[in-house]
Amino acid sequence: MCGIVGYIGKRDAAPLLLEGLQRLEYRGYDSAGVAISGKSGGLKTVKAKGRVRDLDSRLPKRFAGTTGIAHTRWATHGAPNDVNAHPHLDADGQVAVVHNGIIDNASEVRAKLEADGVEFASETDSEVLAHLIGRSQADKLEEKVRDALRHIEGTYGIAVLHAAFPDRIVVARNGSPVVLGIGEKEMFVASDVAALVSHTRQVVTLGDGEMATIKADDYRTYTTREGSRTAASPETVEVEAASYDMGAHDTYMHKEISEQADAVDRVLRGRIDDRFSTVHLGGLNLDPREARKIRQVKILGCGTSYHAGQIGAGLIEELARIPADSEPASEFRYRNPVVDPDTLYIAVSQSGETYDVLAAVQELKRKGARVLGVVNVVGSAIARETDGGVYVHAGPEVCVVSTKCFTNTVVAFALLALHLGRIRDLSVADGKRIIAGLRKLPEQITEILAREDEIAKLAQQYTDARSMLFIGRVRGYPVAREASLKLKEVSYIHAEAYPASELKHGPLALIEPAMPTVAIVPDDDLLEKNRAALEEIKARSGRILAVAHQEQEKADHTIVVPKNEDELDPILMGIPLQLLAYHTALALGRDIDKPRNLAKSVTVE
């Protein structure tokens, strides 16, 4: 949510900042803005409601300067317009600030400043920072920023420019990510590495409560509270710059759906242990004796990650026979949960930044719980805060709508379930059976993706729907939930998921030709029960699209997917429905990679 970038060096800053913003646009796309330290002194700022391309078209031809900061916004406080766009300036126009996060006590601080005669230009919470820094009497910029932050409660990743200190950018982090990119006599700063990797692979990730001063040929990190130096050793980012490119695809969503066979291959690579019919999970930090003592597993995530966690919970129950469930992290953290010492907690997140998940992890850690992470972004906040975990290795996911990461997260859970199962009571034969199933996945995914044309044609038939029902039973229910989320967020068609077993308890009342149903109908022990639900819908003139292992007589259309082991079927059954959501949105002319009102990394509550 919101992306910040900064550059200091010898090159013209504006084009580099714009390029960085474009890479971070998935974090927010309500407005964008840039501030440059001009060659002749002073700060120049341009802001625009809308996308980075709108900002670009507003930049004057001569917007020279080799130091600058920029921002792409997801609006929290104040409407998306030019005035509320960042950077925000202090009253004298000497200080420019870009901010990602939420200042919780902004109204209080603003009231005090206004009582002192400060006039605010915007409705944002972030503007208080610019005024506080501008009014600080400290000599050094670093001290001014530290002074200002003492008045602030909330989360922030900030970058600050000051006209009187043109040789530096000061950045600080508390709860919202900030990474420094170290180049050859130039330095970058950004909310995530996506904005840096085309220039440098050497990065330093700031920790919470840490600040940094970056100059063209030097950087220094220190604590925000005391200003004491901290050790910051650069790490090499492994991900290739090219993996952020769209390649031959028209959207990132399409690219990411298409990459799933390779992505699954990656999450499996090097982890299967045929000798003991199990898997090795290097970073788990859970020895077998501890694993045997686990009495319950609680999985926490938001949105798609929560749904992946629901399938994960099912896998853990089935393969390891440990009671497991998944809950939205956003709910969990506010209900004063009982934290049980024999429960293993697992935080799931693509970005590793989602505020509600991070806050749940911190609360659990504070209460002494053991928390593992199932995370995609290596080195992200959640990956760092957890006691160990499994990386999902889906590669960068840029589209706001999560697809390949969902699939890889479920596969990562299958690995974890197998690992726990083989430490407990899962037999060698079952271990072998699951491993064989996992190995089949990439090929089966390729088979499903080859049916894209058929699914695209089908999608045309559902564009007129105002609302759609998604149903599934047990293993199929979380698949239905995820598929309904996909459809609604990318096509804006209302969709609701229900357990097929609950149809008769209410939702059947909705069935009519204008309310199509998508049914998950695997060939497992519940096949006949699922078929009965199709009968009931058909008897009420409902239209049915089934995702199944064989043609369903009662369905108007069946997307037939290859059969795997019963436990692993949910991994495959969601994939055609990602394509259905994509093609429905395409037919409706939606902004597929950037659905309205959303952003990818939800770093605010």
Chain residues that interact with ligand M6R, rule: CB under 6 A:
302-305, 349-351, 354, 357, 400-402, 489, 598, 601-602
- Smallest gap from Cβ 258 to ligand M6R, in A, equals 17
Task: Compare residues 155 and 354 and give the one whose CB is closer to ligand M6R.
Answer: 354
Query: Would you tell me how many other CB atoms lie within 10 Å of the CB of residue 576?
Result: 23
CA dist 250 and 171 (Å) reads 35
CB closer to ligand M6R out of 319 and 592: 592
Q: Which is nearer to ligand M6R, 353 or 524 (by Cβ)?
A: 353
Kindly state the smallest distance separating residue 400's Cβ from ligand M6R, in Å: 5
Smallest Cα–Cα separation from 426: which of 521, 525, 292? 292
Choice between 6 and 570, CB closer to ligand M6R: 570
Give the integer Cα–Cα distance in Å for 286 and 507. Answer: 43
* Rounded Cα distance, 158 and 35, in Å: 13
Smallest gap from residue 459 Cβ to ligand M6R (A): 18
Residues 298 and 519: their CA atoms lie apart, in Å, by 28
Choose between 37 and 351: whose C-beta lies nearer to ligand M6R: 351
Nearer to ligand M6R, 351 or 484 (CB): 351
Listed in sequence order, the residues at least 6 apart from 440 whose beta carbon sits closer than 8 Å to its beta carbon are: 562, 564
Is 302 an annotated catalytic residue?
no
3-state DSSP assignment of residue 154: strand
Residue 172 DSSP class: E
**CA-to-CA distance for 37 and 364, rounded, in angstroms?**
44
The two beta strands, 88-89 and 179-182, are unpaired
According to DSSP, the residues that pair with 344 across neighbouring strands are: 297, 370
- Using Cβ positions, the residue closest to ligand M6R within the complex turns out to be 303
Catalytic member of 144, 488, 594, 600: 600
Is 302 or 479 the residue whose CB approaches ligand M6R more closely?
302
Distance CA 326, CA 314 (A): 9
User: What CA–CA distance (Å, rounded) separates 380 from 353?
Assistant: 6
CA distance 400 to 490: 9
Q: Which helix (H) or strand (E) holds 472?
A: strand 467-472
What the block records as the tokens of 442 is 């990439």
CA distances 508 to 36, 176, 466, 536, Å, are 59, 44, 17, 8
Q: How far is the CB of 277 from ligand M6R (least distance, A)?
A: 31
The whole-angstrom separation of Cα 510 and Cα 326 is 28
Contact predicate 270/415, CB 8 Å: no
Identify which of residues 211 and 374 has a Cβ nearer to ligand M6R in the complex. Answer: 374
- Least separation in angstroms between residue 116's CB and ligand M6R is 39
In the complex, what is the shortest distance from the CB of residue 584 to ligand M6R, in angstroms, rounded to a whole number? 15
Please, which residue, 221 or 376, has the CB nearer to ligand M6R?
376
Shortest Cβ 403–ligand M6R spacing (Å): 8
Whichever of 349 and 408 has its CB closer to ligand M6R, that residue is: 349
What is the closest distance, in whole angstroms, from the C-beta atom of residue 497 to ligand M6R in the complex? Answer: 14
Inter-CA distances, 190 with 2, 178, 180, 263, 302, Å: 11, 6, 7, 26, 24
User: CB of 334: closest distance to ligand M6R in angstroms?
Assistant: 17
CA–CA separation, 572 vs 440, rounded Å? 11
Q: What is the DSSP string of 374-424?
A: EESSTT-HHHHHSSEEEE-------SSS--HHHHHHHHHHHHHHHHHHHHT
Structural contact between residues 283 and 289, judged by C-beta atoms closer than 8 angstroms:
no
- The amino acid occupying position 452 is E
List 2, 302, 399, 405, catalytic entry: 2
Q: Considering the complex, what minimum distance in angstroms separates the CB of residue 452 from ligand M6R?
A: 19
Residues with catalytic roles: 2, 600
